[in-house]
Chain A
């Protein structure tokens, strides 16, 4: 089987390229560098309408080549149309691997394509590496959590190409960028096709608070802080942070689902994650263990949160946090 290159799905919504696509382009650059016996390129596939400058953004973020399908029927995601265009491209270009962000769109699209072209697909991965045991290989070893994060599995796809994976947003770094990076832009033909799914309306979910996925400091509370979230609110306000919560709290109705961290909540990666009264079940840590610094307060020295914490404090958060609040107020007074 003659295959080449790493293909990356570039997801745009309202003509904004989603950050996970940039994360994948950066990762693909690292991977092609490690594949030494053959020269692989990083190739993007971008679908939409009136895309303007976007193909150049894809090159600047690490693609050597980008295939573009620009047509009014492609402006919004459509399972049928996107599957068709991308599957045709795969049959023609024959990529060795194909990476897709594990967003709602990515997880709708990727299995449909994998079924059409009959190849393997690893879902919702958190790590990709080249088979470390062999030389002259481009086989991907893709690691993902399963059983609610209790177990991790490394998945391979030995006999089918492309090897496909959806990768969870925010677990890889989007650290490649080069202004005016040269590359090839190829326009793909598109023939209109009737869709059997019609979009009637788009309903914005009202976001009741600030977005926890963009905060630098997260003050996060678990069931150990129930009925004391006002401490977290005050601390967040003083530190310029945002309050987050575990599912234990959200299920009790004490916090909104928007601020839930974890497997069924959001994946966050702040500079500081302060975990107060959170036990640290794997479903929770799956959403926050990439934070730069994790500070955990828990009264139970055996709490699993301590196994992911940078600094763990065994103690009562309800006594400690009021003191932190006093300290911060004091600090602010002194420095104004």
Chain B
């Protein structure tokens, strides 16, 4: 090297020494002077959360009704992103977001930015393809509730929001059991230290009393009935009166719980347990049963029907304004005479009559395992809204608010020797800590077995005489129609009614009780012409699905069995 080159070399060396000097200053600053300050910012721990899987819901035969699937969260680590512009241009059409918004996330200062909070698996797949070309992309699964049967049993199942909380129905009622319990623990970053162990409590699985085939059939019939009678909405409940097990619970219109966020908010409530209405004439069965049980009348009693009865200043008249004169109890039910029902309740007196109604469960929730059950309303003496005339109105199902479930539950006493079983939907719970099986619970026994049988027999005759539309071949049906007026703000509407039919079979040894409610049928208002034929269709299919033999075969088998003994 010559002198000039040597000089030039020293210029470079001086530059290097300057660099070393600056580095030394920085090291002294960060390691010594401000060292403790920076060291204090270090985190040698991280919190790890173990998320449990939500429990599965099965029908009584093990068909899956609610399970889990995944959505995906798309996020980026901005410090790992190299080609932000290119990546944002690729993401823009996939995520349907403005490029500026994506760029802001890609150029953020934070170590982690969420670009899309929740996208479907299809979109996540497209993003996954981009991962081969671009750095810094992250795709994380998010739990999503999946209902493989779509809107089947929708109101009853309910839905699960994106935070993992059940929003209605079983999902809401069994939130704690289904959700399980997340566990979290503080882990050391260093793998050299002893780490805690964590295990989440997994969600419990539910097995329902509902049969998927029965439910599907019921929903089909309900939809058909709404179309046929041009009704606005409707509810059908099918229950086993011997246990309180709900075999089907359907309301229409429905929604798809997979897409609960698109559903109209009014659809999210379950009308079977949350809607309250005046049940109308079906209530006469309860009035009759109470009168028989209390000894006020016998099945052979008669009363004089003058076509009008004034109670507490309110005049009760028959629906057809008739005045049939001396009338027996069966005819009272068959012709659905309001004056007759009011005669029974007034004969019993308010205290005794109301006691019976309370025993039947009116005015309090049934306690079924569903979220948002309504209690109904039944003002009693002493309450502010109580007037003497309610005694008459209650007897034929007016001025009292009930839910469809309350109605079928009360009626189940007539089909189950006077005992009301608490209605329930979950037959079994399978949890990590063992299994639970539901044992039927007697809620109350408002009437004797004899009174129940007598009322049932009268209801059989009444159906046979007046409601042939509810009859099916080979089976004895006990039941009652109802054509309830709808009151809005205390005024009964002229043209809108709720048509109902409640019935149970076989009448001598009931295995199933069905409640049909159609709201505002436009073609024909009468329960006997709308709800009753729907009941008959249901009954015809149910005896097959539930394997209920026709009366004559069953009775012959009973006789044969008795002989062999």
Q: A and B, one complex? A: no
